[in-house]
Structure 1
């Protein structure tokens, strides 16, 4: 986030900083028990752990697998020293001008850290940098210059991005203070205290130079970063109270978010269903969540062997649960799913890169776990290494120690490679409006939004065209393919933002934030719009929807999800007259949608699809990309039984997309009478189209799309189709005889029956009682029923609005009794069937199940 709160700049004059840099023993938290000598010994161990984590140890660095990392550390430091030698006026490093760019100031501190790191890294002695006092002195001199000219004087600081001042710079400086603690004490004895005092003063969103747990800035992964920095600062100052307070603050991040009400008003963090949220409403497991995972595992390593470790007892099991329920469902063959990466989807780093950070954390976590838990985590690391379509480069790991552990783990024949996911899994991440449906050959990932969860995230010139990413957009990941060829930044570059898979969008041309306002945000301080204001967040950076129905039920490995598509918060506020006249908003199209997820197919129903404003509307069944040279074939059959003749608009019964070079295929079965439009074209665009700071790299892709188009002024319509991963033409032809039957498809209820699975699933959107097959449900609700051959019936029910106190469902037919039920479910017999009354108050969208006989 950016900030322009220049009025705060003079609050902490530099001359007062050293005076307040004494250990703050009055802070909450407790130092280690025992004597001062015990505390000093604790801090020495802690500091040693930090150095070992970033620089490695003599043992870890002696392993040949660590050699590439050591060479990279050395080469980077030498490049930074060359840039230091060649710096011009107004620079500390060549090509990094200072004074107007907070990014360049952060980069300068980063370069100093990279030099300092090489001087403390065992195994680099031959290079001449290890323990090189002259080089360390140059780093200290650089710290002095940056402090005196650009950082220490508070009136010159806090321009640009708030993150720079509260987290970014502090992260680099805190590590330098640890790495060069002895050199600083000998050469510049007051500099450490001065820097810590400045870092305290730059916590403008905190309280009295410390963390404020009620601040919207000090939450989730951001809070973990801040508190980790403060642990290191406390150690170099020999300040046990500071360390204790930082640990206590960080522990709040690791508690499962309890939303009724959230502690300190904070909704950021992990939820009971495995969801992770950052920025109050953004589904963010794959970026901020990964950062939080890294930080917590680093905390375990930093505190190991100290008396502070007792404060984090039980944390290993908590983090293991995050990995099993939060991360594993979102990783498919080594790729982090795009729908949980916020604005990071527009960056050039791949989903494989994101998983490398997870792997490092799991490697280290496995060394802290024991018994079957440790074996399972190690087995998962091996599984990811073997199934990923990109070679995992451990050189990207932060710690040389982690590389050594990773190498030893892979070489351990006693640990079998095994996924943490069962082969078949359906996960309703309803707390963050996401659904994942996994089968051995594919993973289906669905992104939704609501009054609770943002439609998308745009910020800082990243993810410039995100408008429909939370409107039922899906990613269908197929076994065996290199995901960089079909998803990631190139997918968002090549595919039109109005034609993302699964999306219903009006046909119009929207403008990006920089195009609209000439800046990276809407600047209107008089109306409360500064770059990191709550108004900016609410209406520009990550607007939520205006619909409450978004969610669904899971029954074992099967799932149902529903969404009432609606306008975002900005459009609603503009209609209410609460936004400035020059603030631009866009109206959405309307649709009510359901996704019913089975074994071989995902059935999609849509009703009330149209536009009250009369614009043309496009519903994209799917969009996929391929390399220009890939052999892509399209085959299909018309509803008349004749063969389809090629791209265009036609009354299709089914369509098959196949990429021979990727070895993948997807089928599309149209369950009602539609005239889909099929297109296959080569598109060339720059990656800068989706992120202002991306290299101007041109991307050429074959773009396939199949859509249902509605003309301007057309009446709302409905549609029903199925996505069939890895489909053969024979399998697609068989859908004319089943197994899927559409029972209802209206804006009030959508339901299907799967004969092969003996299953009925329904989403009820409207109040009142609605019927589908053997089911009757009072809405809003999501319900799945499956009958076993022996007559046993299992039922799952959820409240996708998260607003109801209770939901009632009736299974019509013979009267049954309960075999097992979840807490909150009551079973009773009624005329014509069996009634389930489910207490859904404060269930946060989770599914309740019952087994009847």
Structure 2
């Protein structure tokens, strides 16, 4: 390993003859210190070049050769169309605001400023990277400098008042500007650098990170710190770099409300929005870059709480990654981003394409973590990369070359073995989300409560995500269904028939409820309990701008999710439906659909009311069982949609996808609607039929407006959601709570209890089952009585944030 010596370090380490030299005068010492600092800034600029350009790949090998050639072609087109004029650098990106008093209208103009700098960054990368055909091209260099000067003179300068979206001025534009400054540093005069730095100082003053609030939290704070750090490195300001490092510290600690990471692995941005897969990705990538940039420098990030971020790789991000994709339930309004209306080369930003940068960021974060952590993360990433058959990451045209190089290094690393997908259940009470993983499949559940919004819209995005928090149950298979929500699902699906949801057909306006997660249902009972493998979860549902009320429960088991609904009532004057499933069958839609042993017609459109149905099966997907029989409506339909329908910046190209939908029609203005069904992901028709024939496999203990519960004797499982206190089977609860009991073959049992409402100051639970002793219990259990029955008395649960309280007993 090569040791990097400073001038002072070299003098200190010199031979004895150096002792006879004259000691530096104060002036000489100051000059030497300044020279050392200049050396360190140069080293950091070089490191940043490597971080953003990538390393360790051959520009003549694929996929890099083609990507570099494409970069050169794009840069050539951008150079040829650049036309500096008043109000624009490119004719299609007018940034001058014609109505400075109309903030909403000026959002697009500030966004065009951001895009203009991003285009200059593209030019600078083509100039700096090998194999582009424009590497070191003097004409291109002149164009870049011309563009920088034009934007600096016209709009991004210390005398300009910002308009439109704050993000463009404080994050988007300065990040791209400073990247260009690093890449073109040797071509910039001192005066130019001073002017650019003065502009950044004007729009991103030190006060931008003075308080951890507003737009300076979570991922946004990390982005601001990146701007400050690069401003310091480009402009030679140690104080700016130090400020950037220190301003990261508020991002690290766990939070109990608002933006940030929670102890249960939740990640929130915009106060009420689960955002692990979008803003969380930005935070992870930004921290990875800054940790790597500043590592081993004077300004290394040494805050001990940064370990929380390292722990979050497996605690917060990994649970939502599956075969290369990141689950849509934690991606907020990003689910509505597809093909752009203004750039035909931009591809759909689906769950896989959002997942791949997270994988690369995990690899990058490893540069600042321990050797053990880094090696394990690389094993996780290798597994996700190899299993992503639907959207191979190395063919992802939207991922940057530097990230692509990081992923390639993992795939080529023969010392790393891929780590398999885990099994188990994770409940994220901090953001009303859950994930369930079993061999061969995974599922995710999205809910909403008084802390977590129904959905997020904003900037004209995700205009019809109204019901995505109404119990949306996503699921994927290991070798099937990985494109279920990737293949134009969001613009073509019926937004009132999302899988697992109960919804009123009341017509809602685009962006109903307000921007930035403004609307929250006035409910407390949302959450559940888990032993780490199985779970009982419930949601008291109140519809968005609707009179709809419902009690919904899910019991996550080994090969099945048992779904119950009760107390469904509404006075909207419209039908109310519970969508059993709504499978995206792609452009062809040729999956067979079998009902009680009969294969239905493969035709579009097709619909039928399935009366007294016991089971159904979708070929290549999975099975559904209806205990006791149910009346279910089924339809095949070919649905048209455009990304512009759900995102104002989306493409207007008409897309068509075929769907097979099953739903329970509760009728118009129901007063006591119910449903019960079993979801069996990946099951064959024979397995589904066998489960339906085993009528005693699941015992529905209760399905009312007061309690919902099931027991599966063969699994030793009992789960009950007590919406109010009462008796269900062998369980008696004094107050609302969620209970899961798992009896084991060794004569022990685990009782898991939670207070989803976060309001219980006391709770008594009795299990009418002989119990010999309590072998472990949390501090929240104030007393336990054993014998012919077990009685547990809990103290104050209001501060447990809905977390599972786990008690282990030996059965009598």
Please indicate the TM-score interval, normalised by the length of the shorter structure: 0.7 to 0.9
With over 3 angstroms needed to count, the CA separation of the structure-2 counterparts of 1:560 and 1:90, relative to structure 1, is: same
Match of 2:95 among 90, 93, 98: 98
With over 3 angstroms needed to count, the CA separation of the structure-2 counterparts of 1:814 and 1:344, relative to structure 1, is: same
2:431 matched to which residue of 1?
432
2:350 matched to which residue of 1?
350
Write the distance in 1 (CA, Å) between the matches of 2:402 and 2:489. 36
Deviations for 1:800-829, whole angstroms, at most 9, x for unmatched residues?
122334443222222332223345344511
2:408 matched to which residue of 1?
407
Equivalent residues of 1:632, 1:657 under 8 A apart: no
Write the distance in 1 (CA, Å) between the matches of 2:441 and 2:752. 24
With over 3 angstroms needed to count, the CA separation of the structure-2 counterparts of 1:62 and 1:567, relative to structure 1, is: same
Write the distance in 2 (CA, Å) between the matches of 1:96 and 1:478. 43
Secondary structure at the aligned position of 1:674 is classed as: strand
Matches within 5 A, 1:290-301: 290-301=281-292
Equivalent residues of 2:717, 2:743 under 8 A apart: yes
Match of 1:326 among 304, 307, 316: 316
1:288 matched to which residue of 2?
279
Is 1:120 equivalent to 2:76 in the alignment? no
With over 3 angstroms needed to count, the CA separation of the structure-2 counterparts of 1:238 and 1:805, relative to structure 1, is: farther
Write the distance in 1 (CA, Å) between the matches of 2:208 and 2:685. 64
2:723 matched to which residue of 1?
765
Is 1:609 equivalent to 2:568 in the alignment? yes
Deviations for 1:528-554, whole angstroms, at most 9, x for unmatched residues?
xxxxxxxx54xx754221111111111
With over 3 angstroms needed to count, the CA separation of the structure-2 counterparts of 1:39 and 1:771, relative to structure 1, is: farther
Equivalent residues of 1:815, 1:832 under 8 A apart: yes
Match of 1:308 among 257, 279, 299: 299
Is 1:149 equivalent to 2:154 in the alignment? yes
With over 3 angstroms needed to count, the CA separation of the structure-2 counterparts of 1:356 and 1:729, relative to structure 1, is: closer
2:582 matched to which residue of 1?
623
2:534 matched to which residue of 1?
558
2:141 matched to which residue of 1?
136
2:167 matched to which residue of 1?
163
How far off is 1:456 after superposition? 0.3
Secondary structure at the aligned position of 1:297 is classed as: helix
With over 3 angstroms needed to count, the CA separation of the structure-2 counterparts of 1:183 and 1:765, relative to structure 1, is: same
1:850 matched to which residue of 2?
807
Equivalent residues of 1:564, 1:591 under 8 A apart: yes
Write the distance in 2 (CA, Å) between the matches of 1:613 and 1:731. 40
2:373 matched to which residue of 1?
373
Is 1:338 equivalent to 2:336 in the alignment? no
1:753 matched to which residue of 2?
711
How far off is 1:109 after superposition? 1.1
With over 3 angstroms needed to count, the CA separation of the structure-2 counterparts of 1:653 and 1:369, relative to structure 1, is: same
Match of 1:499 among 472, 497, 502: 497
Match of 2:184 among 162, 180, 186: 180
Equivalent residues of 1:174, 1:233 under 8 A apart: yes
Matches within 5 A, 1:574-723: 586-637=545-596, 647-659=607-619, 664-672=620-628, 674-723=630-679
With over 3 angstroms needed to count, the CA separation of the structure-2 counterparts of 1:88 and 1:193, relative to structure 1, is: closer
With over 3 angstroms needed to count, the CA separation of the structure-2 counterparts of 1:636 and 1:426, relative to structure 1, is: same
Equivalent residues of 2:559, 2:680 under 8 A apart: yes
Deviations for 1:488-545, whole angstroms, at most 9, x for unmatched residues?
36222222111111121122222214xx9xxxxx9xxxxxxxxxxxxx54xx754221
**Structure 1, gaps ≥5 residues long:** 1-31, 517-521, 523-535, 569-585
Write the distance in 2 (CA, Å) between the matches of 1:626 and 1:405. 34
2:102 matched to which residue of 1?
none
Deviations for 1:469-490, whole angstroms, at most 9, x for unmatched residues?
1011111212312533x21362
With over 3 angstroms needed to count, the CA separation of the structure-2 counterparts of 1:772 and 1:199, relative to structure 1, is: same
Give me the TM-score of the superposition, normalised by structure 2: 0.87
How far off is 1:403 after superposition? 4.0
Write the distance in 2 (CA, Å) between the matches of 1:440 and 1:689. 37
How far off is 1:435 after superposition? 0.9
Write the distance in 2 (CA, Å) between the matches of 1:300 and 1:394. 28
With over 3 angstroms needed to count, the CA separation of the structure-2 counterparts of 1:69 and 1:686, relative to structure 1, is: closer
1:449 matched to which residue of 2?
448
Equivalent residues of 1:549, 1:800 under 8 A apart: yes
| Residues matched between the structures, number | 751
How far off is 1:120 after superposition? 3.0
Match of 1:278 among 263, 269, 275: 269
How far off is 1:442 after superposition? 1.5
2:12 matched to which residue of 1?
none
Higher relative contact order (CA 8 A, sep 6+): 1
Write the distance in 1 (CA, Å) between the matches of 2:362 and 2:738. 35
With over 3 angstroms needed to count, the CA separation of the structure-2 counterparts of 1:133 and 1:304, relative to structure 1, is: farther
How far off is 1:342 after superposition? 0.7
With over 3 angstroms needed to count, the CA separation of the structure-2 counterparts of 1:43 and 1:688, relative to structure 1, is: same
Secondary structure at the aligned position of 1:840 is classed as: coil
Secondary structure at the aligned position of 2:174 is classed as: helix
Write the distance in 2 (CA, Å) between the matches of 1:544 and 1:653. 36
Write the distance in 2 (CA, Å) between the matches of 1:269 and 1:467. 24
With over 3 angstroms needed to count, the CA separation of the structure-2 counterparts of 1:776 and 1:39, relative to structure 1, is: farther
Greater alpha carbon shift after TM alignment, 335-344 vs 96-105 = 96-105
With over 3 angstroms needed to count, the CA separation of the structure-2 counterparts of 1:744 and 1:793, relative to structure 1, is: same
Write the distance in 2 (CA, Å) between the matches of 1:212 and 1:402. 32
With over 3 angstroms needed to count, the CA separation of the structure-2 counterparts of 1:154 and 1:800, relative to structure 1, is: farther
How far off is 1:437 after superposition? 0.9
Greater alpha carbon shift after TM alignment, 37-46 vs 783-792 = 37-46
**Structure 2, gaps ≥5 residues long:** 1-29, 98-108, 339-348
How far off is 1:178 after superposition? 2.2
Write the distance in 1 (CA, Å) between the matches of 2:38 and 2:547. 61
Match of 2:688 among 732, 737, 741: 732
With over 3 angstroms needed to count, the CA separation of the structure-2 counterparts of 1:393 and 1:467, relative to structure 1, is: same
1:461 matched to which residue of 2?
460
Secondary structure at the aligned position of 1:498 is classed as: coil
2:342 matched to which residue of 1?
none
2:238 matched to which residue of 1?
240
How far off is 1:38 after superposition? 4.1
Secondary structure at the aligned position of 2:124 is classed as: helix
Secondary structure at the aligned position of 1:756 is classed as: helix
Match of 1:111 among 105, 119, 139: 119
With over 3 angstroms needed to count, the CA separation of the structure-2 counterparts of 1:452 and 1:310, relative to structure 1, is: closer
With over 3 angstroms needed to count, the CA separation of the structure-2 counterparts of 1:717 and 1:167, relative to structure 1, is: same
How far off is 1:94 after superposition? 4.3
